[in-house]
Structure 1
Amino acid sequence: MTNIIGQYVRMVTFLFQRQGIQLTTLFYLRYIQVQGGIKLFQRKLIIFLWRLAIDRLPTRLNLVSRGVDIGNIGCSICNHGVEDNHHIFFSCLLAKEIWRKVSLWTSVDINRFASWSEWLSWYDQWEENISNKNRMYTIVAATVWVIWRFQNGVIFSENPMRKDEIFDSIRNYSYTWLFSRSKKQMSWNSWLVKPL
């Protein structure tokens, strides 16, 4: 698996260099691999996190900047602000509420970040044992994943996820990703009370 990811990173790096795109975040797949994410995350999540890091998710602002005529570029969740990565995941009223809940649950103040790169910078310097770092990374990955799925459900689904299901989905995804492929186990009840 590691060799396949390495080949993929080299191929993507070559393609992006050819297009003149900055390479500062292109080694994001390597970053996730170092954090243990390759073992924990499905490929679609790894690619989602990588696209988030390089601002290539199909947000309304990104679609308009690529010439797609969608009319309204306002946030589909709160109708305030332009729908871009920063807004969807960090400054939308719903996102702020979700980060507040995640902060209370983990006892770590993570609701203060305005962007994914800010969060990654903090995470790199966070002095914590590797087990808790992996858990925190997985919880944050689950948070942005569930926010993205909720936002897409609002736009495309006849029966979108309810707002009151978001936090439970985050806890469920993060627990499943961490412990379904791990030798170390934690009870579900312990996870709900104190994940770190």
Structure 2
Amino acid sequence: MILQRPSTHKETARNKLLPQKIGLFVWRANLERLPVRVELDKRGIDLDSVRCPICNNDIETVAHILLHCSFAKDLWSRVFRWWNLNRPMYANMGKMFQGNRNALSSQTSKLWQSVEWVCGYIIWRNRNLNAFQKKKGNGPTALNEVQLKSYERISRRSKELAMEWNQ
């Protein structure tokens, strides 16, 4: 008997410029399968609150924590300004991780995808630091981290791109 994939199955995200853990994070975010508070509550895990641990303004869903939370909005705005791109509003992560590539060349598009994925991963990491260690991140520091991690990942893993830090 051959096992068939469900019709809702999405392929694992791939970007050879980034570590597999970031691709897995993006894949889980696209499927809305990150362990956010509303999902944990649905599974019967007793929580003090299902509100966002960063802003406390809304229920913590994948879309909220990665797109709509004040910390995420601020960081995305900084990243879009850094790249001189207009920041459109997205309803979910799938749209976010697929957007803005039409206006970019294929090589630049791969770089942008790397920056997007690193940014989402850093937002998620900051959320976890806040939720479990009560450490609050800030936009300028997080932007520096996105820039540094993107540069490190791309410059170490790309054979075609010879990047310098000032680029």
> Given the two structures, how large is their TM-score scaled by the length of structure 1?
0.76
* Pairing partner for 1:162 from 113, 137, 160: 137
Gap runs ≥5 in structure 1: 1-12, 191-196
**Counterpart for residue 129 of structure 2:** 153
**Counterpart for residue 140 of structure 1:** 116
Q: Give distance in 2, aligned partners of 1:101 and 1:66.
A: 35
The residue type equivalent to 1:51 in the other structure is R
Relative distance call for 1:74 and 1:161 in structure 2 (3 A) is closer
* Pairing partner for 1:55 from 32, 40, 46: 32
Q: Secondary structure at the match of 2:28?
A: helix
> Number of residues paired by the alignment?
163
Cα RMSD after superposing both structures: 2.0
Output one character per residue of 1:148-176: Cα deviation in whole Å (capped at 9) or x when no partner: 00010011126x36314211111111111
CA contact (8 A) 1:90 1:113 kept: yes
Q: Give distance in 2, aligned partners of 1:96 and 1:113.
A: 11
**Counterpart for residue 109 of structure 1:** 86
The residue type equivalent to 2:77 in the other structure is R
> Given the two structures, how large is their TM-score scaled by the length of structure 2?
0.88
Which structure has more RCO (C-alpha within 8 Å, separation ≥ 6)? 2
Percent pairwise identity = 25
* Pairing partner for 1:81 from 58, 70, 76: 58
Moved more, 55-64 or 104-113: 104-113
Report deviation, 1:131: 1.0
User: Moved runs in structure 1, 4+ residues, more than 4 A?
Assistant: none
User: Which structure's residues are more often helix, by fraction?
Assistant: 1
Q: Give distance in 2, aligned partners of 1:175 and 1:111.
A: 24
Q: Give distance in 1, aligned partners of 2:125 and 2:23.
A: 15
Report deviation, 1:114: 3.0
